[in-house]
């Protein structure tokens, strides 16, 4: 079974996803710890009512059809609509990896509820704002494609290519394990030296 957060990780960097979910290696840094601290409240299972909205925190779901298990940070019920809310550490951003992770939650929630879940929300701690994400057919299709791509990672004997973009890599908690700068310096040299 593919884990829901792997979708976000894979779209950010396939190599990081391989290390984290296939090799089971993970390191924390200031950004991951900050995110963990911000998630403390929403990670506590429970339910509450705010005005007319019912909130269900830390809801674990799985889908046999998709071969996916995940945890919804929050599922809200408002005026008969149920939708997932995914919490993010950053300011508001329009990143595909966040949208796909949220869409996967919507797909699994649909299967569980046996009714459409047409949208969800990304909540950004950095700006305390929400962004509504419509689960279009294009987004749904891309989400299921990524789930299948992640499943194929488990058949690999070596990690796939990563993003190798130092502006992104330097903030990654796996930078000292992945060594993207060193990898770039050695690219082509290791194979050449084998024949000398």
Tens digit of pLDDT per residue, the chain (196 long)? Answer: 999 999 999 999 999 999 999 999 999 988 888 877 877 777 788 899 988 899 999 999 999 999 999 999 999 999 989 999 999 988 877 899 999 999 999 999 999 999 999 999 999 988 889 999 999 999 999 999 999 999 999 999 999 999 888 888 999 999 999 998 887 777 655 544 444 4
Distance CA 87, CA 102 (A): 10
Comparing C-alpha atoms, which of 14, 12, 55, 13 is closest to residue 150? 14
The model's pTM: 0.89
> Looking at residue 192, what is its pLDDT?
42
The encoded tokens of residue 64 equal 């046999």
**First-to-last C-alpha distance (Å) of the chain:** 44
pLDDT digits (tens, 9 = 90+) for 116-137: 999 999 999 888 899 999 999 9
Task: Classify 23 in phi/psi space as left (phi over 0), alpha (psi -120 to 50) or beta.
Answer: alpha
């Amino acid at each position: 079974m593919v884990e829901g957060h792997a979708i976000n990780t894979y779209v950010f960097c396939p190599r990081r996803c391989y290390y984290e979910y296939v090799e089971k290696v993970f390191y924390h840094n200031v950004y991951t710890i900050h995110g963990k601290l911000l998630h403390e409240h929403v990670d506590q299972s429970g339910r509450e009512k705010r005005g007319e909205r019912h909130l269900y925190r830390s809801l674990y779901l799985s889908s046999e059809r998709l071969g996916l298990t995940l945890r919804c940070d929050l599922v809200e019920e408002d005026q008969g609509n149920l939708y997932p809310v995914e919490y993010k550490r950053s300011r508001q951003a329009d990143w595909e990896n966040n949208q796909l992770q949220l869409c996967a939650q919507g797909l699994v929630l649909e299967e569980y509820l046996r009714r459409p879940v047409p949208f969800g929300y990304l909540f950004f701690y950095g700006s305390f704002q929400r962004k509504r994400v419509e689960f279009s057919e294009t987004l749904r299709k891309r989400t299921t494609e990524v789930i299948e791509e992640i499943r194929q990672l488990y058949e690999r004997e070596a990690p796939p290519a990563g993003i190798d973009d130092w502006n992104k890599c330097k903030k990654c908690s796996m930078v000292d394990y992945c060594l993207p700068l060193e990898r770039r310096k050695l690219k082509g040299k290791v194979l050449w030296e084998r024949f000398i």
